[in-house]
Chain A
Amino acid sequence: MRLVISGGGEPRAAAVKAAAGHAGFSLRGCRVARVYLLSADPGEAAVARLVDAVLADPVTESAAVDPPLEAGPGVVVVEVGPLPGVTDVEARELEAAAARLGIEGLRVATATRFELEGDGLDEVVAARLAASVLANATVERFAVGGLDVEVTEPTSVGVDVVDIVPVRDLDGPARGELSRSRLLSLDAAEMAAVAAWYRDEGRDPTDAELETLAQTWSEHCAHKTFKALIHLSHEAADGSVIDKVTVDGLLSTYLRAATEALWPPWLRSAFVDNAGILAFDQFTDVAIKVETHNHPSALEPFGGANTGVGGVVRDVIGVSARPVATLDVLCFGPQDLALDQVPQGVLHPRQVAGGVVAGIGDYGNKLGLPTVAGAVLADEGYLGNPLVFAGCIGLLPSGSHPTVPRVDDRVVVLGGRTGRDGIHGATFSSAELAVDTAAVAGTVVQIGDPITEKGVMELICEARDARLYTAITDCGAGGLSSAVGEMASTLGADVDLRDAPLKYPGLRPWEVWLSEAQERMVLAVPAEHLDALLALGERWGVEVTDLGRFTGDGRLVVRHGAVTLVDLPVDFLHDGVPRRELDAVWRTPPPAATTGRLGGAVAPTDALLTILGHPDVASKERIVRTFDHEVRAGTVVRPLCGPEADGPADGAVFVPLGGWPEGRALAVGLGINPRLGRVDPWAMAVGVVDEAVRNLVVVGADPDRIALLDNFCWGNPTFPDRLGALVRACQGCYDAAMAYKAPFVSGKDSLYNEFAGSPIPGTLLITALGVVPDAGLAPTADLQAPGGVLYLVGETGPHLAGSLHAELFGTPAGAQVPGLCHLKPLARYRALHRAIRAGLVRSAHDPSEGGLAVALAESVLAGRMGARIELPADAIDDTSWLFGETSGRMVVEVAPEDAPGFEAVMAGEAVTRLGVVVAEPSLEVARGDATLIDVGIDQLVAAWRDGSPW
Chain B
Amino acid sequence: MVSRPRIAVLHAPGTNRDGEAAEALELSGAEPAVVLLTDLAAGRTTLDDFAGVLVPGGFSYGDALGAGSRLALEVGHALSAYAADGARPVLGICNGFQALVRAGLLGGGDDGAGGGPATPRVATLADNAGGRFECRWVTLAAEPNCTADWVGGIDHLVACPVAHGEGRIAVRSLADAADLAGRGLVALRYVNRDGSAAVGAYPANPNGSAADIAGLANPAGNVVGLMPHPEDHVRDSQDAFRGRYPGRLARTLFDRFVARARAH
Q: Report the minimal beta-carbon distance from A108 to chain B, rounded to whole angstroms.
A: 10
| Contact between chains at B38 and A538 (CB < 8 Å) | yes
**B126 interface residue, CB < 8 Å from A?**
yes
Interface segment out of the listed B128-136, B150-158, B181-189, B253-261:
B128-136
**A657 interface residue, CB < 8 Å from B?**
yes
Q: Report the minimal beta-carbon distance from B228 to chain A, rounded to whole angstroms.
A: 10
CA gap between A206 and B229 in the complex, in Å? 55
| Contact between chains at B16 and A60 (CB < 8 Å) | no
Q: Report the minimal beta-carbon distance from A658 to chain B, rounded to whole angstroms.
A: 5
**B244 interface residue, CB < 8 Å from A?**
yes
- A-facing residues in B80-127 (Cβ within 8 Å): 102, 107, 120-124, 126-127
Q: Report the minimal beta-carbon distance from B164 to chain A, rounded to whole angstroms.
A: 9
Interface string of A471-513 (1 = CB under 8 A from B): 0000000000000000000000000000000000000000000
Q: Report the minimal beta-carbon distance from A543 to chain B, rounded to whole angstroms.
A: 12
| Contact between chains at B131 and A14 (CB < 8 Å) | yes
| Contact between chains at A630 and B124 (CB < 8 Å) | no
| Contact between chains at A367 and B16 (CB < 8 Å) | yes
- B-facing residues in A616-639 (Cβ within 8 Å): 624-634, 636, 638
Interface string of B31-49 (1 = CB under 8 A from A): 0000010110000000000
Residues of chain A lying within 8 A (CB to CB) of residue B121: 58-59
Q: Contacts A11-B130, A633-B20, A638-B240 known; A628 to B163 CB distance under 8 Å?
A: yes
Q: Report the minimal beta-carbon distance from A453 to chain B, rounded to whole angstroms.
A: 10
Closest to A784 in B: B242
**B171 interface residue, CB < 8 Å from A?**
yes
- B-facing residues in A497-555 (Cβ within 8 Å): 538-541
Residue with the greatest number of chain B CB neighbours at <10 A, chosen from A14, A538, A626, A776: A626
**A429 interface residue, CB < 8 Å from B?**
no
| Contact between chains at A454 and B13 (CB < 8 Å) | yes
User: Which one of A92, A97, A365, A539 contacts B163 once the chains associate, using CB atoms below 8 Å?
Assistant: A365
**B19 interface residue, CB < 8 Å from A?**
yes
Q: Report the minimal beta-carbon distance from A625 to chain B, rounded to whole angstroms.
A: 5
| Contact between chains at A93 and B38 (CB < 8 Å) | no
CA gap between A624 and B133 in the complex, in Å? 10
CA gap between A365 and B70 in the complex, in Å? 18
- B-facing residues in A426-440 (Cβ within 8 Å): none
Q: Report the minimal beta-carbon distance from B185 to chain A, rounded to whole angstroms.
A: 14
| Contact between chains at A450 and B133 (CB < 8 Å) | no
CA gap between A540 and B39 in the complex, in Å? 9
Residues of chain B lying within 8 A (CB to CB) of residue A53: 69, 72-73
- A-facing residues in B132-168 (Cβ within 8 Å): 132-137, 161, 163
Q: Report the minimal beta-carbon distance from B146 to chain A, rounded to whole angstroms.
A: 21
Closest to A36 in B: B65
Closest to A9 in B: B127
Q: Report the minimal beta-carbon distance from B44 to chain A, rounded to whole angstroms.
A: 9
- B-facing residues in A1-46 (Cβ within 8 Å): 8-12, 14-15
Q: Report the minimal beta-carbon distance from A619 to chain B, rounded to whole angstroms.
A: 14
| Contact between chains at B241 and A645 (CB < 8 Å) | yes
| Contact between chains at B237 and A540 (CB < 8 Å) | no
Residues of chain B lying within 8 A (CB to CB) of residue A631: 16-17, 20, 57, 163, 232
Residues of chain B lying within 8 A (CB to CB) of residue A366: 14, 16, 58-59, 62-63
Interface string of A349-387 (1 = CB under 8 A from B): 000000000000100011110000000000000000000
Q: Contacts A775-B237, A780-B242 known; A541 to B13 CB distance under 8 Å?
A: yes
| Contact between chains at A643 and B133 (CB < 8 Å) | no
**A749 interface residue, CB < 8 Å from B?**
no
User: Which one of B62, B122, B131, B231 contacts A11 once the chains associate, using CB atoms below 8 Å?
Assistant: B131
**A849 interface residue, CB < 8 Å from B?**
no
CA gap between A645 and B162 in the complex, in Å? 14
Q: How many residues of B contact A (CB 8 A)?
A: 60
Q: Contacts A14-B131, A638-B240 known; A541 to B62 CB distance under 8 Å?
A: no
| Contact between chains at B240 and A365 (CB < 8 Å) | no
**B264 interface residue, CB < 8 Å from A?**
no
| Contact between chains at B128 and A11 (CB < 8 Å) | yes
CA gap between A628 and B61 in the complex, in Å? 18
Residues of chain B lying within 8 A (CB to CB) of residue A361: 133
| Contact between chains at A539 and B73 (CB < 8 Å) | no
User: Which one of A90, A101, A626, A633 contacts B65 once the chains associate, using CB atoms below 8 Å?
Assistant: A90
| Contact between chains at B241 and A630 (CB < 8 Å) | no
| Contact between chains at B237 and A659 (CB < 8 Å) | yes
Q: How many residues of A contact B (CB 8 A)?
A: 59
| Contact between chains at A628 and B135 (CB < 8 Å) | yes
Residues of chain A lying within 8 A (CB to CB) of residue B102: 57
| Contact between chains at B65 and A54 (CB < 8 Å) | yes
CA gap between A670 and B13 in the complex, in Å? 33
| Contact between chains at A97 and B232 (CB < 8 Å) | no
CA gap between A628 and B20 in the complex, in Å? 14
Q: Contacts A58-B120, A60-B126, A539-B39 known; A451 to B59 CB distance under 8 Å?
A: yes
CA gap between A54 and B62 in the complex, in Å? 13
| Contact between chains at B240 and A368 (CB < 8 Å) | no
CA gap between A634 and B121 in the complex, in Å? 36
User: Which one of A97, A628, A643 contacts B241 once the chains associate, using CB atoms below 8 Å?
Assistant: A643
| Contact between chains at A626 and B135 (CB < 8 Å) | yes
Q: Report the minimal beta-carbon distance from A646 to chain B, rounded to whole angstroms.
A: 10
CA gap between A630 and B136 in the complex, in Å? 8
Q: Contacts A628-B163, A630-B161 known; A658 to B23 CB distance under 8 Å?
A: yes
Residues of chain A lying within 8 A (CB to CB) of residue B242: 780
CA gap between A775 and B61 in the complex, in Å? 35
| Contact between chains at B237 and A8 (CB < 8 Å) | no
Q: Contacts A367-B16, A626-B134, A645-B136 known; A539 to B237 CB distance under 8 Å?
A: no
- A-facing residues in B1-33 (Cβ within 8 Å): 13-14, 16-17, 19-20, 23
Q: Contacts A361-B133, A449-B62, A633-B231 known; A657 to B19 CB distance under 8 Å?
A: yes
CA gap between A630 and B137 in the complex, in Å? 9
**B200 interface residue, CB < 8 Å from A?**
no
CB-defined A-B contacts under 8 Å, sample of 28: A8-B170, A11-B128, A15-B131, A53-B73, A54-B66, A54-B73, A55-B65, A58-B124, A59-B121, A59-B123, A59-B171, A60-B124, A90-B64, A93-B61, A93-B62, A93-B65, A94-B65, A97-B65, A97-B73, A366-B59, A367-B16, A539-B36, A539-B38, A541-B13, A625-B134, A630-B232, A634-B238, A645-B240
Q: Which residue numbers of B lie inside 8 Å of A, CB to CB?
A: 13-14, 16-17, 19-20, 23, 36, 38-39, 57-59, 61-66, 69-70, 72-74, 102, 107, 120-124, 126-137, 161, 163, 170-172, 229, 231-235, 237-238, 240-242, 244
A54-B73, A59-B107, A643-B244 are known; give 12 further A-B pairs, CB within 8 A: A11-B131, A12-B131, A54-B70, A58-B124, A59-B172, A97-B73, A361-B133, A366-B59, A454-B14, A540-B13, A626-B133, A645-B136
Nearest first, the 9 closest Cβ-Cβ pairs linking A and B are A368-B16, A11-B131, A59-B124, A633-B20, A93-B64, A90-B64, A451-B14, A630-B161, A11-B127
